């Protein structure tokens, strides 16, 4: 499953807040020069009509459920590392391929896939011969680019060198290794099925097999985790020399074992201050080791950023297949059932033409605007203000700049020109006098690292409030 489910420090998709108190006169005056809704809808329509070139594949099988996990999974037990003939696995793959085949695609809009991501669950439990069936179904339906990035999540203790070489022959060229921690005590307390020895063995296998593009996943703010433990995990990760590192902050989900045992911020979980210190330590140590902090929870060596995840951060459409997976096509985010029997019924209905998992391009400007802001501000690149203005108008850009000025002064928000040079506060204030972003010279807004990223929840919620105000006012003016 997409690992952003583990949200970074203080990051949560909270209900949109009460709108910030902006002067009614400021709102009305700025809307006088606003781009019309007609032009906005043309731009958004083009955005939603982009043909997906990425696919997420959910392989839900695990040996057991970890204590923090609320993903849709199927626990197979720990009898063997790989269940070659388990009917639950074989049958699921058949249903998965049927879903892929039954998906409606406009022939004139068909494009080969540029990225494929096998998430879970623990995809490395699925025998390569069954993975091959899924890839073949994708090729038959959509086509697959010769240089496509094909990623697979793999857990220590669930694969050997033979398995790794087999999946590489299938085309898997990027591995995400679910290490989570380098301390036996923490792994056991999380309910992980592997130990530290298996972590080191897995790293050795990845290197021995010549996997060039691979990532290590770590979780911060685990129960009883200390600063020294976290520093050790980061040090050992850096010494392993992966090309990519993902750092997630533990979220306590209702219905999980951790949800029944612990309260966020209370012992044995770290405090908010300790969690923030963990995040700062990760940013400092990984950046010092020449990893680029290109997204809130993602660090990569130059050229090894995860191409598939950029599909999400850029709010591009994508396919998704399998239990509980969510696609985004034609402006519609569509989630599949999370229970196996319900999923099989869904596939039958899809085959019979009773389900439409693709949108019709119907535009919901407010939702699209919030999605773009939320996803863009997760990245080091930030929010492209020119593109945002073309889609939503100059007034909303002016209001957003005004709302963020205090955070520019405090160093949490950074404004950049087209050459990505930082704009000073005086220059930014002067830019508000101009009507369009071209005149302002402001090209991007991003959150600073690490302080801005740590405040991402508040800063993005503030943007939601600005968007609510602006969109409501625009709709009112159109009616009038």
130 domain residue, yes or no: yes
The pLDDT of 160-186, averaged and rounded, is 98
What percentage of the chain carries pLDDT values higher than 90? 72
pLDDT at 302 over 70: yes
**Same domain, residue pair 187 and 253:** yes
Tell me how far apart the alpha carbons of residues 370 and 15 are, in angstroms, rounded to a whole number: 12
**Same domain, residue pair 113 and 206:** yes
429 domain residue, yes or no: yes
pLDDT at 371 over 70: yes
**Same domain, residue pair 263 and 374:** no
**Same domain, residue pair 173 and 291:** yes
pLDDT at 13: 31
pLDDT tens digits along 57-114: 999 999 999 999 999 999 998 755 447 789 999 999 999 999 999 998 875 567 899 9
pLDDT at 16: 29
147 domain residue, yes or no: yes
pLDDT at 476 over 90: no
The pLDDT of 342-349, averaged and rounded, is 98
**Same domain, residue pair 387 and 250:** no
Question: What CATH number should be reported for the domain holding residue 293?
Answer: 3.20.20.70
When pLDDT is cut at 50, 70 and 90, the band that residue 357 belongs to is: confident
Q: pTM for this one? A: 0.88
pLDDT at 122: 96
What percentage of the chain carries pLDDT values higher than 70? 83
327 domain residue, yes or no: no
When pLDDT is cut at 50, 70 and 90, the band that residue 475 belongs to is: low
**Same domain, residue pair 285 and 148:** yes
Farthest-apart Cα atoms in the chain, separation: 69
Which of the 8 DSSP states describes residue 20? P
List helix spans (H) across 143-180. 161-170
Comparing 7-16, 49-58, 117-126, the range with the smallest average pLDDT is 7-16
List helix spans (H) across 73-225. 87-102, 128-142, 161-170, 184-190, 196-208
Centroid of chain to Cα 314: 10
**Domains: count for the chain:** 2
**Same domain, residue pair 207 and 308:** yes
Domain boundary (314, 333, 349) is at 314
pLDDT tens digits along 242-290: 999 999 999 999 999 999 999 988 999 999 999 999 999 999 999 999 9
409 domain residue, yes or no: yes
Tell me how far apart the alpha carbons of residues 128 and 273 are, in angstroms, rounded to a whole number: 44
Domain boundary (314, 344, 374) is at 314
**Same domain, residue pair 89 and 200:** yes
Comparing 29-43, 335-349, 362-376, the range with the smallest average pLDDT is 29-43
- Which tokens belong to 475? 């709709």
Tell me how far apart the alpha carbons of residues 421 and 357 are, in angstroms, rounded to a whole number: 42
pLDDT at 479 over 60: no
**Same domain, residue pair 73 and 202:** yes
**Same domain, residue pair 305 and 394:** no
When pLDDT is cut at 50, 70 and 90, the band that residue 363 belongs to is: low
Average pLDDT, the chain: 86
* Residue 227, domain extent: 54-314
Tell me how far apart the alpha carbons of residues 158 and 130 are, in angstroms, rounded to a whole number: 15
**Same domain, residue pair 455 and 383:** yes
pLDDT at 5 over 60: no
41 domain residue, yes or no: no
The pLDDT of 399-406, averaged and rounded, is 92
pLDDT at 415: 94
373 domain residue, yes or no: yes
**Same domain, residue pair 262 and 127:** yes
Instruction: Name, in order, each residue with C-beta under 8 angstroms of 270's C-beta and a sequence gap of 6 or more.
Output: 221, 225, 278
Instruction: Name, in order, each residue with C-beta under 8 angstroms of 225's C-beta and a sequence gap of 6 or more.
Output: 181, 186, 270, 278
């Amino acid at each position: 499953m997409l690992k952003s489910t583990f949200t970074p420090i203080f990051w949560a998709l909270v209900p949109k807040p009460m709108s910030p108190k902006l002067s009614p006169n400021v709102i009305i005056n700025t809307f006088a020069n606003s781009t019309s809704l007609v032009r906005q809808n043309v731009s958004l329509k083009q955005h939603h009509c982009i043909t997906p070139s990425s696919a997420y594949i959910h392989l839900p099988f695990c040996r057991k459920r970890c204590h923090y996990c609320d993903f849709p999974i199927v626990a197979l037990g720990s009898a063997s590392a790989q269940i070659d003939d388990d009917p639950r696995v074989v049958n699921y793959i058949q249903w998965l391929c049927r879903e892929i085949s039954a998906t409606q695609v406009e022939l004139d809009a068909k494009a080969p896939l540029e990225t494929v991501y096998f998430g879970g669950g623990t995809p490395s439990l699925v025998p390569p011969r069954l993975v091959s069936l899924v890839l073949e179904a994708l090729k038959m339906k959509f086509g697959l680019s010769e240089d496509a990035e094909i990623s697979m999540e793999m857990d220590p203790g669930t694969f050997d060198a033979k398995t790794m070489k087999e999946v590489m022959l299938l085309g898997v060229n990027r591995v995400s290794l679910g290490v989570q921690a380098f301390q036996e005590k923490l792994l056991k307390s999380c309910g992980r099925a592997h130990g530290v020895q298996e972590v080191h063995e897995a790293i050795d296998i990845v290197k021995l097999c010549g996997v060039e593009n691979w990532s290590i996943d770590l979780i911060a703010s685990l129960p009883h985790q200390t600063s020294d433990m976290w520093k050790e995990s980061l040090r050992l990760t850096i010494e392993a020399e992966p090309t990519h590192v993902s750092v997630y902050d533990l979220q306590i989900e209702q219905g999980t074992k951790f949800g029944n045992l612990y309260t966020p911020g209370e012992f044995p979980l770290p405090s908010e201050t300790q969690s923030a210190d963990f995040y700062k330590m990760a940013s400092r140590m990984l950046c010092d080791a020449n990893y680029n902090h290109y997204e809130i929870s993602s660090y990569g060596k130059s050229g090894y950023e995860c191409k598939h995840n950029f599909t999400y951060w850029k709010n591009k459409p994508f396919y998704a297949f399998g239990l509980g997976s969510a696609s985004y096509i034609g402006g519609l985010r569509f989630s599949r059932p999370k229970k196996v029997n319900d999923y099989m019924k869904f596939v039958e209905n899809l085959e019979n033409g009773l389900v439409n998992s693709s949108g019709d391009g119907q535009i919901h400007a407010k939702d699209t605007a919030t999605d773009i802001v939320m996803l863009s501000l997760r990245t080091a690149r930030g929010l492209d203000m020119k593109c945002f203005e073309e889609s939503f108008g100059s007034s909303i850009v002016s209001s957003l700049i005004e709302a963020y000025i205090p955070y520019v002064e405090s160093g949490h928000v950074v404004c950049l020109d087209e050459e990505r040079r930082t704009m000073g506060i005086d220059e930014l204030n002067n830019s508000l006098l101009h009507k369009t972003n071209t005149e302002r010279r402001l090209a991007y807004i991003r959150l600073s690292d690490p302080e801005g990223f740590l405040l991402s929840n508040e800063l993005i919620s503030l943007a939601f409030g600005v968007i609510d105000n602006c969109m409501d006012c625009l709709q009112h003016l159109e009616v009038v």
